[in-house]
Chain A
């Protein structure tokens, strides 16, 4: 049984890229379009890694990270943030909220895979 990963992003193309890459590497992939939906879906699941975009409508990535860190099941789960170079301050907010690591956009599938392997071991 492969590990489960959730990609949370309001951009369908990014979600799709994460999905393709991770499925090809043997992971199972769940999707959510924003923090709110992610929380709802994560509740009944056992996900080993969450990849979160920082900017999203409704609930943004940083809020989601702090919510997950307060969630009994996801307190220790690795969470990766997707940011861009110009969002240095947002990256720090995310780290303070408890994100495990980050990926700077733009990235390619190999870079994504490298970082995922790094945090999942």
Chain B
């Protein structure tokens, strides 16, 4: 293998030298006759091959360096850039640099790299000038591994309808089908009904199509990849068909009657045996054809088997534990974290290296234990879907509406207590969707919408947060209507404009409702405010967007865990505070000259040329002592805005066990809780989003 690599490298080097010679020759001719497009083509081709092959044979630097030059010549080819003396001059220098880069892959001397960078900048600014930089090539398309859902057995229905002419592209259909079959257990049905009679039959055409029911632990993308070469020469679909089947099946009428003793099992079976199977019935009525019934029965069978297998696997690999035992463990971990930070503190004070190393190991173990204990408490969001599905069904039929309920991201995990506290708010939101959002079927049809409304409930991970979305395609939010009502009730001055946030605040004001009449479900105006409060008690936030007629989109943002967070410990005078690390972007020093004046009533600091507003926590907490000569700004990012908080000193990262404040202090603005530090003293945990909000309000 090594030999092969050496031979390849050598061949590439020789070839590259030839290409550079060709490049030089073409450049010389181009210099003499700048209008000659064939010469530009020659230059481009040489560069293109150098780039493509360079990275295949380990000469990454060449490939990267050549990329921009190639783009420039592509622009010249397309008539977007002229051939200038400067361009040719630069390309000659580039040729020399590529020559130098050929010496040893991966070991290009620093001075060559340096001049290559300068040159590359010149070329890329030229390419930009041509205005063809963006969207030109797929170089941005680096495979980003999305968050990998755990491997689990899923059942897919794959429908594959190749174009009749597909064989003429050399596609090997049996190979494609066996590639699919190799991904798991499968049943395949071939549809033969399109095969014409012999006189019309073209032996070079494909008349067959397939349904494949596949149980596999592969991801849907991997299955779609099988079709990558034929996707525009066929229609195919990959559907996950056993989603949501974990919910307990509703009992059938017959079973219930038997259970209640209203009917004997014998009578039930007699009646059932007289009835035809649904499939036979449908066939007899000519509603579906036999092939379809066959595949559907297969599908049913495979789903049943997969479910059984999965249940068996899960039963073998998991145990059930009462949830209060888990809560007990988490509480103990919380106590342990507090004691551990006391230990670390004591070790620091004593300056005993042995004790310090033990304290360090305890710290590492504690943090691992903490992560494990939390992971145990995580529950997939999908476990709640069954309940919501039932709610939608019942409510919709009660209100004479037709609603399809779609769920996504059921595998997204959330802390058990968060899920418990989340159920009621989501029930409320879904009720609102059905009551206020989705219109009656007749009304929808008049507006050109499908008669069946749709509600989507989705959970996705986003950094250290989980986003939960409730989306409907109903009548949306009529801002004008809300404004009018608010005016009528004297909540806002006439003629005022509302921001999205104010809109939401209005909607969640107790007693404020835009529903035209009060129904048993909603419209009493107690609802959104309760939802908002319960989400905030989970340290989350809620946002709402919608257009009249275009549906409503509600997003709940929640932190992943509840009880322990990573915090940044800071000090102001003698007081210490915790800033949740997830909010912190960076810490910088506040220069003395910057903190003197205010700019139009706001404090502004310049961070690498960008002006960032900041809040002096010293003033916020009314601390009288003089600030030290050098202060620190903790920069936080909140819904896109950077805001700084000035403190005396940034002490460091700290695992923070959140203790709620007593009832007396619960309403304190800007503080979300407290924690006990290693030395036994208390530090307040800052509520950054709220502080930012208050700061903005004060600025007005």
A residues with a Cβ closer than 8 A to B are 10-14, 16-17, 20, 55, 69, 75-79, 84-86, 88, 95, 98-102, 105-108, 118-121
Contacts and interface: CB of A to CB of B under 8 A. Distances in A.
A106 B55 contact: yes
B519 interface: no
Interface string B107-146: 0000000000000000000000000000011110100000
Contacts of B8: 13, 16-17, 20
Contacts of A16: 7-8, 11
Contact of A100 (B53, B70, B170, B179): B170
Given A84-B51, A85-B139, A118-B179, 13 more contacts: A17-B56, A55-B45, A75-B204, A76-B204, A78-B170, A78-B172, A85-B137, A95-B169, A101-B229, A105-B53, A106-B55, A121-B174, A121-B175
B170 A76 contact: yes
Contacts of B136: 86
B170 A79 contact: yes
A85 B138 CA distance: 5
Given A55-B45, A85-B139, A106 B52 contact: yes
Contact of A95 (B137, B204, B232): B232
Contacts of B232: 95
B215 interface: no
9 shortest interchain CB distances as A-B pairs: A121-B175, A86-B137, A101-B229, A100-B170, A78-B170, A106-B56, A13-B12, A85-B138, A106-B55
B163 to A, nearest CB: 12
B616 to A, nearest CB: 51
Contacts of B49: 10-11, 55
Contacts of A98: 168-170
Contacts of A107: 56
A86 B75 CA distance: 13
A119 B170 contact: yes
Given A13-B11, A17-B8, A55-B45, A86 B167 contact: no
B183 to A, nearest CB: 13
B175 A119 contact: yes
B309 to A, nearest CB: 28
Contacts of A69: 168
Nearest to B71: A86
B48 interface: yes
Most buried by A among B56, B74, B137: B56
A55 B48 contact: yes
B169 A105 contact: no
23 contacts: A11-B53, A12-B11, A13-B12, A13-B57, A14-B53, A14-B56, A16-B7, A20-B8, A69-B168, A76-B167, A76-B168, A84-B52, A85-B141, A95-B169, A99-B170, A101-B228, A105-B53, A105-B55, A107-B56, A108-B56, A118-B179, A120-B175, A121-B178
A3 B548 CA distance: 64
Contacts, number: 92
A86 B67 CA distance: 10
Interface string B177-216: 0110000000000000000000000001000000000000
A88 B138 contact: yes
A41 B313 CA distance: 57
B295 interface: no
Contacts of B52: 84, 105-106
Contacts of B172: 78, 119-121
Interface residues of B, number: 38
Contacts of B141: 85
B347 to A, nearest CB: 50
Given A14-B56, A16-B7, A99 B169 contact: yes
Nearest to A121: B175
Contacts of A118: 175, 179, 229
B278 interface: no
Contacts of A14: 53, 56
A86 B14 CA distance: 25
Contacts of B543: none
Contacts of A76: 167-168, 170, 204
Given A55-B48, A98-B168, A100-B171, A13 B138 contact: no
A3 B550 CA distance: 59
Contacts of B632: none
Contacts of B228: 101
Contacts of B171: 78, 100, 119
A60 B169 CA distance: 18
B636 interface: no
A48 B57 CA distance: 27
A16 B139 CA distance: 26
Nearest to B18: A12
A84 B4 CA distance: 24
A85 B57 CA distance: 17
B480 interface: no
A67 B14 CA distance: 32
A85 to B, nearest CB: 4
B15 A12 contact: yes
Most buried by A among B70, B141, B169: B169
A77 B170 contact: yes
A105 B56 contact: yes
A101 to B, nearest CB: 4
Contacts of A75: 168, 204
A33 to B, nearest CB: 12
Interface in B1-30: 4, 7-8, 11-12, 14-15
B139 A13 contact: no
Contacts of B229: 100-102, 118-119
Interface in B449-494: none
Given A77-B170, A100-B169, A86 B56 contact: no
A76 B74 CA distance: 34
A54 B178 CA distance: 29
A106 B421 CA distance: 51
Contact of B63 (A95, A100, A106): A106
Contacts of B56: 13-14, 17, 105-108
Contacts of B139: 85-86
Most buried by B among A84, A98, A102: A84
A11 B15 contact: yes
Contacts of B57: 13, 17
Nearest to B140: A85
A118 B170 CA distance: 12
Nearest to A105: B52
Contacts of A101: 228-229
A50 to B, nearest CB: 9
Contacts of A121: 172, 174-175, 178
Contacts of A78: 170-172
Contacts of A99: 169-170
Nearest to A24: B4
Contact of A13 (B15, B70, B167): B15
B6 to A, nearest CB: 12
Contacts of B168: 69, 75-76, 98
A20 B53 CA distance: 16
A23 B537 CA distance: 66
Interface string B353-388: 000000000000000000000000000000000000
Nearest to A49: B170
A5 to B, nearest CB: 13
Nearest to B7: A16
A105 B54 CA distance: 10
